[in-house]
Structure 1
Amino acid sequence: MTKLLLALHVLAAIIAVGPVTVAASMFGPAARRAAERPDDAQARSTVVLLHRICRVYAGVGIAVPVLGLATAGVMGVMGDAWVIASLVLTMLAAASLIVFVLPGQEQLVEGTEEGRGGGIATVAAATGRLAMTTGIFNLLWVAVTVLMIVRPGSTTGA
C-alpha cells in the first residue's frame, strides 16, 4: 500500500504542480506581449490559456498533500520534522498561489480581455510583482521537493 500511495503522490506532484509552475512562469511575459499588442487576439488567448492552466491544475494539486498525508500516515512518519516542514511549506505555497498569483493573473487577464491593460508601464509593474510571487511559489515547491528527496533521518542512506 505504501508504494502505491507514494507512486500516486509523486505522480500527482508531477502532473499537477509541474504545469502550474511552468504556466505561472510563462504568464508574465505573455501578459506583457498582450499589452504591447492590444489587437493581437492570439497574444490575449495565450494569457487566458496560461491562467486557465494555473487555475485548473491548482485544483488538481489538492491531491498532492492529500496523498502525501496518506503516505506519511502509512509510513508512520507524520511526526518527523521533514514531514512537518514539508506540510508548512506546502501550505505557504498554496497560500501564495491562492492569495497572490491567481488573483494577479486574473487582473491581468481581465485587463487584456477588455483592452484596458492600463498601459505597458502598469502591466510591466503588475507582471513584475507577479513574477516575484510566482518565484516564491516555485521556490517553496523546490524546497518541498528537496525535503522529499533528502528526508533527514531517513534510512535510505541518501
Structure 2
Amino acid sequence: MNKFFLIVHILAAILCVGPITVAASMFPPIARRMLTAETPGAGGLDVLHRITRLYAWVSLAVPLFGFALAGSMHVMGEAWLISSIVLTLAAALVLALLVVPAQSAVLAVAGGTPEARSGVLSKAKLLSMTSGIFALLWLIVLVLMVVKPGHHRG
C-alpha cells in the first residue's frame, strides 16, 4: 500500500502543483503588460487564473495522500515531515490569501479604464514576489521530501 500512496502522492504533486506554479509565475508579466497597454484586454490571464484556482483545489490530493503515506510508514513525528507540513500549509496560505485574490483584482479591471488598471499595477508587481515565494516553498518541501534530514529508516 505504501507504494500506491507514494505513486499517487508524487503524481498529484507533479500534475497539480506544477501547473499552479507555472500559471502563477506566468500571470504577473502578462498582467503588467496588460495593465500598461493602450488597449485593454485579458490576454489569457483568465485562463491562467482559472488554472491557478482549479488546480489549487485538486492539489489537496497531495497532502491527503502524503498523510496516508506518512501514517502507513510511521514517520508522522519526524522533523523533516513536520517541517514539510508547515511549509505546505504556508504555500497554501500564500496561494489562497495573496496570489489568487491579487489575480482576481487584476482581472476585475482588465477591460477597464487606464486609471482603474493603473490602480492595481502594484498588486500585479507584487504577484511576481508572492508567486515566487509559493514556488520557493514547494521547492523546499521537495528537498525535504528527498533528503529527509535526520531520518534514520530506509
TM above 0.5, one fold? yes
**In 2, Cα distance between equivalents of 1:121 and 1:130:** 15
Query: After superposition, where does 1:44-59 map in structure 2 within 5 Å?
Result: 44-59=42-57
Structure 1 residue 24 displacement after superposition: 0.3
Partner of 1:139: 136
CA shift at 1:145, angstroms? 0.3
| Separation in structure 1 between the aligned mates of residue 82 and residue 115 of structure 2, nearest angstrom | 43
Distance 1:67 1:38, change over 3 A: farther
Structure 1 partner of 2:36: 36
Structure 2: runs of 5+ lacking an equivalent = none
Unaligned runs of 5+ in 1: none
String of CA shifts for 1:38-87, please: whole Å, max 9, x gaps.
5364xx14111110110000011111011100000011101111110000
Question: TM-score under structure 1 normalisation?
Answer: 0.89
Structure 1 vs Structure 2 CA RMSD = 1.7
CA contact (8 A) 1:6 1:67 kept: yes
Paired with 2:114 and 2:91, the residues of 1 have a C-alpha distance of 27
Shift of 1:37: 3.0
Matches within 5 A, 1:79-118: 79-112=77-110, 114-116=111-113, 118=115
TM-score calculated relative to the size of structure 2: 0.91
Task: Note the C-alpha offset of 1:33.
Answer: 2.0
- What amino acid does structure 2 have at the position aligned with 1:10? I
In structure 2, the CA distance between the partners of 1:144 and 1:101, relative to structure 1 (3 Å rule), is same
Give aligned-pair identity as a percent.
46
Per the alignment, residue 69 of structure 1 pairs with 67
